[in-house]
Amino acid sequence: MLRRQFCLGSLAGAVWTGSALPDPARAQGHYPSRPVTLVVPYAPGGSSDIMARILSNGLNAAWGQPVVVENRGGGTTTVGTEYVARLPPDGHAMLLAPPPFVIAPFIYRNLGYDPVRDFTGVSLVAFYPLVLVVPAASPVNSLGELVAAARARPGMAYPSPGAGTTPHLFGELLARRERLELTHVPYRSGGQGVADLIGERLQFYAGPTTEVVPHVQAGRLKAIAVLAEARSAVLPGVPTARESGFEGLDASSWTTVAMAAATPPAMVAKVSADIAAITRQPEVRQRMEAQGAVFVGSSPTEASAFWAAERLRWGPLITDLNITPNG
């Protein structure tokens, strides 16, 4: 598996030194010259939507032009992604690209776009380690107890924002590793699944920190494991999967920004530099790091290289498990 240090070392280092980002002054004059659309390929309410609105506000302030968040959910992000792929490559449309951006080609046949051919990376914005949570009233208090309960109760249900998302892939990996029979329930956004988990209509969820930490802190959910190499600073009392006796169950969600492949490079460079500046703003960092986000803000080249590494990480697993659009 790809290790997080690949991203947080080589990518973050380039951002803070500024060496990997082209001079935004080289971007074409007067860009953007009109409102810009930032398409989120999920329904409102999840971590992608939260980050999109933060970026929208920051870019709006930097550009003096409206940056409109447009939610186009469906097909586990393929609907919104294809929509952006068909727009003119004039720099006035962007895609908030989460993990299914690189995973979908392994699951869906005959996509109306090719993420490698039709898009260029703009920025790897941030990571969100997944946290395994259960309803607050659940008798389960650890990953080991969850596995035992799932073994005793075949069909235990968990949500995800759709087939091929990292919460779904974690559930498939857990079922395979522990020989469990689990029921995957896909939603149009992570927030919708969390609502049903809180209502105890589902049994567990491996969700991004930005989605679940506020509910854990409010007492609506209970965190039982952090699916990362180290504990989360916002959940210091929650052990990692490895500490719980389960190796190899690390998983993270992430946010990247993409633009059409034919977009003028100067425009791409300007957007990337301005996003990196937003990730360094203290008020932005304080708000999102309080929910467990880990900021990067990479260059365009590094964002595209990250996508390639993620394809190598998840593609063989998806193929081996024969995951389909129906989960």
List, for residues 188-223, the tens digit of each pLDDT value.
888 899 999 999 999 999 999 988 999 999 999 999
Tell whether 49 and 94 lie within a shared domain: yes
Tell whether 181 and 217 lie within a shared domain: yes
Question: Which of 266-275, 291-300, 316-325 comes out lowest in average pLDDT?
Answer: 316-325
Residue 82 is given by DSSP the state H
- Given CA atoms 264, 277, 97, 94 in this order, what sign does their dihedral have? negative
CA distances from 226 to 70, 185, 233, 249, 288 (A): 31, 21, 11, 10, 17
Is residue 245 situated within a structural domain?
Answer: no
Give the three-class secondary structure for 286.
Answer: helix
Range of the domain at 114: 4-127+253-321
Q: What is the mean pLDDT of the chain?
A: 89
Q: Which residue has the tokens 């490698």?
A: 116
% of the chain with per-residue pLDDT over 90: 70
Tell whether 13 and 123 lie within a shared domain: yes
What is the tally of structural domains in the chain?
2
Mean pLDDT over residues 128-147, rounded? Answer: 97
Confidence of residue 76 (pLDDT cuts 50, 70, 90): confident
Tell whether 110 and 156 lie within a shared domain: no
Question: Which of 15-24, 171-180, 251-260, 266-275 comes out lowest in average pLDDT?
Answer: 15-24
What pTM did the predictor assign? 0.80
- Residue 42 pLDDT > 70: yes
- Residue 9 pLDDT > 70: no
Tell whether 263 and 316 lie within a shared domain: yes
Residue type at position 182: L
Tell whether 40 and 118 lie within a shared domain: yes
Confidence of residue 19 (pLDDT cuts 50, 70, 90): very low
Residue type at position 14: A
Out of 105-119, 245-259, 262-276, the most confident range is: 262-276
Tell whether 71 and 101 lie within a shared domain: yes
Domain containing 77 — which CATH number? 3.40.190.150
Is residue 161 situated within a structural domain?
Answer: yes
Residue type at position 318: I
- Residue 1 pLDDT > 70: no
Confidence of residue 26 (pLDDT cuts 50, 70, 90): very low
Final residue belonging to a domain, choices 193, 227, 261: 227
Which residue(s) pair with 126 in the sheet? 255, 295
- Residue 237 pLDDT > 60: yes
Domain containing 135 — which CATH number? 3.40.190.10
